[in-house]
Amino acid sequence: PRIVPDAARILARIILKLQQGGDLEKGYYTKLCYRKFRDLMSHYHEIRTDPKRVEHLESLSMVLRDLLGEKLLPNFTELQGIYGRLVVNGFNILDGEMNSIGTGIYLGVSVVDHRCTPNAVATFEGTTLFIRAIADIPCLDWSQIFISYVDLMQTPTDRRTELKSNYYFLCTCTRCIVPGEQVQMEAAACPSTDCDQYLQLQDQCLPISCEKCGTRVTEKFLDEFREVTNFTKLQLANMKDVASDLDVCKICFAKQKNVLHRLNLWHTKTLDLAFESAIEMGKWQDARSFGQLLLPGFRKYNGDFNPLLGLLYMKLGKIELYLEHVDVAREYLLEASKILRITHGENHSLYVKQLIPLLEQTCN
């Protein structure tokens, strides 16, 4: 049987709902303020001049013609408006562990804007969406509440590219336009193994010396840094199979040692992939080591109250419990609790059914 793409399925549902009066449905974000579907930005001009989106829409329109029939299918201009509202305003519906399980339109919540230093997060219980504050917000002013639309473990350049490509705006937040973060994300280690200073070597020419200890960077070290960075990026892009992923990660670590700074983004991404691969393969000692090394980079780039950081602590606690390190497990799980009670809430199924039972095991 022919499989209908998810995008065609949700477009069909939106089309049918609109034809049955759904265009009058109101999504309230305060007691008096609301949005209807037509209030969502369609980015009509940007979609029309975006070759990838035009090609995608044309292929979807053919599927929809077969699915709905000519009579129910809107004309192409109207279909493009519906499509634009979906791709720009749609939310990835996430399970408790932040894995995408679908897409949905949430009319009221679409008022929330993006920032790379968010003060709120979007989490789900089933298909119910919650916007939860992760920083003090003086009053309920939706123009001052921000979530992140993109993965924060990206360089500012990559974040801005993704936002421009998918949402048609160029982020100008301080995290994107102040060069410090990009420098540290792409940093080399100091050639002196006794020094923890990070060095900016991307697009730099010799002579270069460490600002902290004065160690000079040799041409050989500069070439090695560039080679290791490019090698790591290539491997991260190509890794698909869990078993071989872990082996490739270990090759990357051997090359990265004393070359990439411990908070270098590509090193952090390698640790993340190695951690998940080790868990999948049941290699708990490896997973424990990778997870411990991953914590500083995960906290730095995702922020102190990010669901992914809370889940990392919970996974580490679970691993330590399995290894019968009960006291260490308790410490990790308490850290997870501090974060997840903010990002998910104490009534969320992840908190009640997964985290609390793990904490109870550390008290027995």
What would the pLDDT profile of 231-243 be if each residue is shown by its tens digit? 999 999 998 766 6
Which has the minimum average pLDDT: 174-178, 211-215, 259-263, 265-269?
174-178
**343, pLDDT greater than 60:** yes
pLDDT given at position 239 = 85
pLDDT at residue 4 in the model: 86
**Does the structure show a pLDDT above 60 at 139?**
yes
Q: At what angle do helices 219-238 and 265-280 cross, to 10 degrees?
A: 40
Structure confidence at residue 179 (pLDDT): 83
One of 1.10.10.60, 3.30.200.210, 2.170.270.10, 3.40.50.10090 is the CATH number of 92-181, namely 2.170.270.10
In which band, very low, low, confident or very high, does the pLDDT at 345 lie, cut at 50, 70 and 90? very high
175: its two tokens:
């995290």
The per-residue pLDDT for 1 is 57
The answer on pLDDT for 201 being more than 70 is yes
Given this model, what pLDDT does residue 252 score?
98
97 pLDDT higher than 90: no
pTM (two decimals): 0.93
pLDDT for 291 beyond 70: yes
Q: Choose the CATH number for 1-89 among 3.40.50.150, 1.10.220.160, 3.90.180.10, 1.10.645.10.
A: 1.10.220.160
Supply the pLDDT for residue 155: 96
pLDDT at 153: 96
Sequence spans of domains, the chain: 1-89, 92-181
